[in-house]
């Protein structure tokens, strides 16, 4: 196993043999008997444990003399939206209210069944469910601004008010006239070298960015929903588009500060703790004790640690830059191996 890879060997083996796509792209598996390296989700027959070794990158596997598998194609960008899907999404974004039937999809040279499978695999829903969520989300925005429900329904492409009400209830579990929430958080899947992340944004800014495999993610979503009196729906807004661009730049070493608007939700103490985090320079670290002192609350080290743990905007609010007083890496919801990766990335690029 590569010495550069800071993941538990048993976790990697389990992910590989179970084809756990949560870890796809985080490491690669090379087979000594064939000289081939694969993604962990490769559908080819699994080799015996004594015949495999792990690498942190495709380049590292190539450097060790392995060649890429022709089945899973590990050299292709992980998580990147295929061009044939991007064409459909571009058309959808032009006019979210428009219908996208099978014949429309075929007009772009795309197989509707293949597109449905891609959406189910990557977003857990069909294209039609995604389109309904987009239309309902846009309609809610107009209702919130005072537009009549019936006008919002027709402007969103619905042919009847009853059809709009039914679709609204399926997504939000309440009618537009008697809704018990005041905000909609649009969510999308963001791809990064450290694995997929769930991103959410309101019209104000990004309010959620967390690794999909984090254990506390479900709890965070419930807290955010309660604090903002919000419901979640799949979709895209300008903040999420900007977020993906800035994260790509960050991981490539081309960006050291984020400018995408944030809408962090927390208590007064948490907000103060997070403001301290955002003032830690790129490539630098402080201890939890130092953070507490900066908050003028030197005895609140544990409270500071809890506030950092409640941060719902990973990377953007850089809680990964806080370490133990002895210099050890501690306390990161995304996993200490990710914390080390982020700190190593920033140290490398801060001196470049």
Residues assigned a catalytic role: 319
Q: Give the CB-side neighbour count of residue 29, counting CA atoms within 13 A.
A: 29
* Rounded-to-integer distance, Cα 196 and Cα 122, Å: 10
- Report helix angle 127-144 to 161-172, nearest 10: 100
The per-residue b/e assignment along 288-305, b for 16 or more CB within 10 angstroms, e otherwise, is bbbbbbbbeeeebbebbb
> Which among 113, 125, 133, 118 has a CA at the least distance from the CA of 86?
118
Cβ distance 175 to 165 under 8 Å? Answer: yes
DSSP 8-state symbol, 281: P
Cβ–Cβ < 8 Å for 295, 273: yes
DSSP 325: T
Describe the chain by its helix, strand, coil percentages, rounded to 5. 45, 15, 40
């Amino acid at each position: 196993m590569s010495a550069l890879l800071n993941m538990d060997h048993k976790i990697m083996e389990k992910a590989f043999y179970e084809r756990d796509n949560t870890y796809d792209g985080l490491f690669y598996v090379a087979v000594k008997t064939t000289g081939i390296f694969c993604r962990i989700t490769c559908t080819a027959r699994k080799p015996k444990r004594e015949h495999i070794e792990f690498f942190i990158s495709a380049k590292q596997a190539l450097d060790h003399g392995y060649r890429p598998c022709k089945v899973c194609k590990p050299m292709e960008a992980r998580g990147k939206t295929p061009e044939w899907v991007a064409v459909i999404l571009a058309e959808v974004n032009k006019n979210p209210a428009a219908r996208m039937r099978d014949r429309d999809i075929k007009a772009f040279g795309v197989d509707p069944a293949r597109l449905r499978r891609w959406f189910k695999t990557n977003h857990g829903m069909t294209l039609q469910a995604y389109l309904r969520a987009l239309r309902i989300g846009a309609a809610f925005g107009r209702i919130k601004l005072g537009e009549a429900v019936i006008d919002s329904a027709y402007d969103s492409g619905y042919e009847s008010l009853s059809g709009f009400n039914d679709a609204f209830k399926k997504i939000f579990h309440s009618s537009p006239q008697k809704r018990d929430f005041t905000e909609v958080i649009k969510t999308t899947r963001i791809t990064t070298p450290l694995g997929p992340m769930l991103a959410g944004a309101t019209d104000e800014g990004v309010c959620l960015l967390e690794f999909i495999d984090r254990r506390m993610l479900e709890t965070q979503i419930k807290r955010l929903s309660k604090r903002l009196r919000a419901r979640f729906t799949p979709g895209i807004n300008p903040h999420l588009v900007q977020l993906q661009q800035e994260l790509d730049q960050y991981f490539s070493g081309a960006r050291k500060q984020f400018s995408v608007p944030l809408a962090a939700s927390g208590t007064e103490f948490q907000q103060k703790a997070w403001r301290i985090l955002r003032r830690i320079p790129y490539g630098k670290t402080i201890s939890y004790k130092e953070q507490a002192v900066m908050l003028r609350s030197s005895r609140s080290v544990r409270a500071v640690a809890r506030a950092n743990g409640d941060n719902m905007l990973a990377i953007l609010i850089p809680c990964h830059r806080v370490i133990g007083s002895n210099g050890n890496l501690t306390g990161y919801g995304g996993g200490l191996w990710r914390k080390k990766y982020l700190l190593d990335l920033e140290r490398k690029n801060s001196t470049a």
